Amino acid sequence: MTVLLFLIPIALCLGGLGLFAFLWCMRSGQFDDLDGAAQRILFDDAPAPTHDRRPNS
């Protein structure tokens, strides 16, 4: 049963990774606009901006 000593931490780490990813997505606002995200993917890349917005950054 010593195999458990490896398997349990591995399982927990993988689960924890998922949890962390979910919390990170939420924090970065990826769940804020699910309808919009579904539509955005249909559009081509934006036309280049007609002016230089932030010269030094």
Write out the residues near other proteins by the rule CB under 8 A. 1, 4, 8, 11-12, 15-16, 18-19, 22-23, 26, 31-36, 38-40, 42-43, 46-47, 49-51, 53-54
21, 36, 37 from 30: Cα distances, Å: 11, 11, 9
N residues, the chain = 57
In whole angstroms, give the CA distance from residue 26 to residue 56. Answer: 31
